[in-house]
Amino acid sequence: MYAPLHPDPALPPVRINLYSDTQTRPTAAMKAAMVEAEVGDEQAGLDPTVNALCERMASLLGKEAAMFLPSGTMCNQIAIITHCRPGDEILAHGTSHILTSEGGGAAALAGAQITPLPGPGGQFDAAAVRAALRPRTRNAPPQALLEVEQTANAGGGTIWPLAVLNEVAAIAQEAGLATHMDGARLMNAVVATGIPAREMAAGYDSVWLDFTKGLGAPLGAVLAGSRDFIDAAWKWKQRMGGAMRQAGICAAACLYALDHHVDRLAEDHDNAKALARGLAQIPGLTVEAPETNLVFFDTRGTGLTAAELYARVRSHGVNFSISSTHRGRACTHLDVTRAQIDEALQVIRAALA
Ligand SMILES: *Cc1c(COP(=O)(O)O)cnc(C)c1O
């Protein structure tokens, strides 16, 4: 659905990369921290840097234990397969990453089915959860897990209000479901609201944070939960080949990101607002007001599809991602400066003039 990831050699290099915060490069200081990392055998629990990261993340997320994994997708899939049995049902938003962007992993790996819940901005409310809950009959699929995404990526990088997070989690728990938070961009929500991560995750049995989004690490994500949950999840980490060796090299980048790249997410949010203001002034573009670092816009009024607009700006070294026929997503991050936002706006304006 997004534009091709592979660079077309006929095109000039990308100068201003609004495609995704996943494409940030590790900074020189982050690489220096990686080089100096103390390492050991992660699978055996002997990598001191991984252990330090997991302890810090368990505390940050308010859980008993945590586990280092290569990617956010593996965090979601291991959480799903730990919480669910084959035939179980997961309640998640219709635009959720686990439903749209993980290769059908819930079905393929856990044998679980996802029922999409409706609601604006990638979020659902208490009424939507109540409407989806089924009586526990012989013929109904066992409902096992409720999942939320903070921030909601395809929903527009929106921030779930704390009260709604707590309310939908409480309803699910009362009905006997486990609860899981996809916190790929959780720290964006934390920085934007000032609400600590542990408070946002309090109603959730499992939660994870991605280090390869706005936090700018080359790889790594941390999944947290109760000691029993992480114990059970370790079996799946092992089975799926997610148990690692000298992974401290990568955990050091994550620790560096926690120290140096969290507060600066506010800059990305400011840049996203500036970008949205500029885009809204371009005739034909309709812009969704950004709450964090993702700026979604609709191209219908320009007479162009998102892909057609993409092609025009890409030839000038600017990119973004395509989320559907007329919907584009521009993402601000560590490698995009305010000056580049202004330049990108000029390119987009010229492309539509
Ligand atoms: C990126 C993303 C993921 C997957 O994380 P990876 O580290 O790319 O595997 C999961 N959920 C959401 C909401 C994301 O944005």
**pLDDT 10s digits, 300-309:** 999 999 999 9
8 A C-beta contact, residue 89 and residue 113: yes
| Ligand 1 cavity residues, CB under 6 Å | 22, 71-73, 76, 97, 149, 153, 182, 184, 210, 212, 221
Q: What parts of the chain have a pLDDT lower than 50?
A: none
pLDDT computed for residue 2 by the predictor? 60
Which residue's CA is minimally distant from atom 6 of ligand 1? Answer: 72
Tens digits of per-residue pLDDT, 142-152?
999 999 999 99
CA distance 316 to 137: 59
Q: Which of 114, 213, 219, 329 to mutate to test the pocket of ligand 1 (most atoms within 8 A of CB)?
A: 213
The rounded Å distance from CA 182 to ligand 1 centre is 8
| SS3 label, residue 56 | helix
The rounded Å distance from CA 238 to ligand 1 centre is 21
Q: Which of 5, 210, 222, 323 to mutate to test the pocket of ligand 1 (most atoms within 8 A of CB)?
A: 210
Question: In angstroms, what CA-CA distances link 40 with 43, 215, 234?
Answer: 9, 24, 18
What is the separation of C-alpha 89 from the centre of its chain, rounded to a whole number of angstroms? Answer: 22
CA distance 123 to 106: 20
Q: Residue 234 has which token pair?
A: 């370790």
The rounded Å distance from CA 73 to ligand 1 centre is 6
pLDDT computed for residue 33 by the predictor? 98
CA distance 273 to 191: 15
For the chain, domains (ranges, CATH) are 16-25+264-352 (3.90.1150.10), 37-260 (3.40.640.10)
pLDDT computed for residue 11 by the predictor? 85
The rounded Å distance from CA 301 to ligand 1 centre is 31
Bridge partners of residue 223, in order along the sequence: 67, 208
8 A C-beta contact, residue 80 and residue 103: no
CA distance 61 to 75: 14
Ligand 1: which atom is nearest the Cα of residue 153? Answer: 13
